[in-house]
Structure 1
Amino acid sequence: MTFEVPIIDITAFVTDGDGEARDAVARAIDEAAGTVGFMQVVGHGVPQEILENFAAALDRFFGMELTVKKRYRVPPPINRGYSPPKSESLSLSLGVAQASRMNDFFEAFNIGVAASEHPGLDLSILDYAENVWPEEIPGFREPVEAYFAEAARVARTLATAFARALELPDGYFEPFIDHSQDVLRMNNYALPPGTVDIDGELTGMGEHTDYGILTVLWADQVAGLQVLGADGVWHDVVPADGALLVNLGDLMARWTNERWLSTLHRVKPPVVNGTIERRRSAAYFCDGNADAVIETLPSCIGEGSKYEPVTVAEHLRVKLAGSRYLQPNTSAPREAARVLAAQRGERP
């Protein structure tokens, strides 16, 4: 069977499409979510100008000197600010150590929904921290916030489509994401010459599943992203023209009792003549309200639930403690087994 990340046009949900058109999109989403866990979304309506301005803002930030960027590191457990190369290990979010040293060579800058945006709610600053913005780059914040707003819109459009695909009432997911602790993680895989040793252990970003409900990913059309297929093989994935990559997180896999997949993926360094080719991406994580309880959906219980209920905050804190603060996650045995099988070259 050929591995393929399907392209799905969601125009019917972006505009006021008729029921038949929306049903067709919902069926395509259900098929992709249940077989691959990834899809390429077109017809999303994000203006090209916003994407171009956003990409330029990323370039300006990551082009600064490392010593300057490190001024925007935020101490744990706050999921904001700058992460230098080789300071994280995504595989630890599943409790799987890659090696004795950190080999995830990407650098990142995070922003997210802040408690101040929901003044009527008593939200924890651990989950809804205020953002930090680089003072050295005038005009950085505006294009980043513009893209953040567009990615949020796409995520909520998809949540509407997901409800239809899962035979749930319209608007079913809205109470779970009306103050969602969403994060935008901007990633850069291009490092100055001499800062990284090109060896067999080097990893752009280690094997992991995403943590929340769904991820909207903008990425360069540069090799590096790999998705683990049902055949136990890592497959290269490059976004189609104009497409945003969308994948499901662990909370959606829990919600759907694994009817839909939270698929393992990683980023390998695209090395050309001993040099890492530049690659950028930005992942918008729609993670859900911190106080929302995730338990098996009524349409997915079947013969029984594979997971105990968990709040979004509880789930995310354990995951982040692994990837960012190097405390292996001991509560993800199902996902960890899949990583270990993949490392041995076995089918998960």
Structure 2
Amino acid sequence: MSQPHDTLSSISLSLADQDKDAFAARIGQSFSDWGFAIIGDHGISDDLIAQAEQMSRTFFALPDDVKRKYHIPGGGGARGYTPFGTEAAKDSDIHDLKEFWHIGRQLPDGHAFEPFMSANIWPEELDEFRDCYLELFAAFDKAGQRILEGIARYLSLEPDFFDDTVRDGNSILRLIHYPPVPADSPAVRAAAHEDINTITLLIGAEEAGLELLDKQGNWRPVTPKPGELAVNIGDMLQRLTNNRLPSTTHRVVNPAPERRGHSRYSMPFFLHFRPDYLIETLPQCIDQNHPDLYPEPITAHDYLMERLREIGLA
């Protein structure tokens, strides 16, 4: 096995079009070493990203009572607005310093997954909100499937292995606003946690704060260049691969004193398996030195609900 790299370097998604095996080797090594990869040339247009970032700032600047119109009590934060101070990391008693909005997949009427996936709601105050974020959702979905093809090749699976596992998956686009942080705050913007889903694609990590916990127990900053994606493995894929691809602990720390008065905005896309997909350890990831750590299969929906209860969203 090759030695871990010392730094988290950027990988161009265009390499997947030129040399699929080379791309798979690079991205697989990065995920194996870090649980993270930095992806450039991902195909999501700069103009769309700029529009989405501005739309997010405009929404979160609305009065609190307006935003709260779109909070759904008992909805687990699945759609619409989740107010500041609602979500906490697993096993944490302190709530994160953020508010957010969730957009899910638009399903046609009568779709089999309607019982698992709520309908989207849209703020009536912003005319272009719906079209902007549905376009961004589709662009994230496309980039994520290209990354999953590289992962499949790295794991010696058929290149299209993940296509059916995520088709009409319960993916979420989250718009996050981290407000300015008081100097005496006992909380951090996002406490140490792992993501629940398959893979996460994040726009907005170039503003300092995102850190990962490496295998030696050190916190390392994740610093993509403007326009690049930070991509990480989620718990569902870690489970499927018997921990071969780790779901790395990460956090968003509070800014330096000179930046405490500034908000931070980001847009993670949590790419999910379809709700009925059975997460069952891949035989390719089990051998004498790596016994099956997850002998009991579980559907993606049941696993998601277990985890949402742990973080206070269900």
TM-score over 0.5 for the pair: yes
The match for 2:306 among 318, 332, 337 is 318
Q: Distance in 2 between matches of 1:157 and 1:2?
A: 23
* SS of residue paired to 1:173: helix
Q: Distance in 2 between matches of 1:40 and 1:273?
A: 27
Look up the match of 1:270: 255
Q: Deviations over 1:123-158 (max 9, x none)?
A: 243x31011111111211121111111111101111
The 3 A distance-change label for structure 1 pair 297 and 274 is closer
Q: Distance in 2 between matches of 1:269 and 1:2?
A: 27
Look up the match of 1:110: 102
Look up the match of 2:26: 28
Unaligned runs of 5+ in 2: none
- Paired positions, count: 307
Q: Deviations over 1:89-121 (max 9, x none)?
A: 0x22xxx12x3xx3311110001014xx24464
Tell me whether 1:258 sits opposite 2:250 in the alignment. Answer: no
Unaligned runs of 5+ in 1: 328-348
CA RMSD of aligned residues (A): 1.9
Moved more, 237-246 or 261-270: 237-246
The 3 A distance-change label for structure 1 pair 107 and 59 is same
Q: Distance in 1 between matches of 2:110 and 2:206?
A: 42
Look up the match of 2:143: 154
Q: How does 1:226-241 map to 2 (within 5 A)?
A: 226-241=211-226
Q: Deviations over 1:288-335 (max 9, x none)?
A: 10000011112111232101211100111111122243x7xxxxxxxx
- Superposed structure 1 runs of 4+ greater than 4 Å apart: none
Look up the match of 2:84: 85
Give yes or no for contact 1:271–1:277 (8 Å, CA) kept in 2: no
Look up the match of 2:13: 10
Give yes or no for contact 2:97–2:179 (8 Å, CA) kept in 1: no
Q: Calculate the TM-score normalised by the size of structure 1.
A: 0.83
Counterpart of 2:7 in structure 1: which amino acid?
A: E
Q: Distance in 2 between matches of 1:276 and 1:153?
A: 36
Q: Distance in 1 between matches of 2:172 and 2:206?
A: 23
Q: Deviations over 1:50-100 (max 9, x none)?
A: 1111111111101111111111112234411111111110x22xxx12x3x
Q: Distance in 1 between matches of 2:249 and 2:201?
A: 16
% identical aligned pairs: 29
Look up the match of 2:59: 61
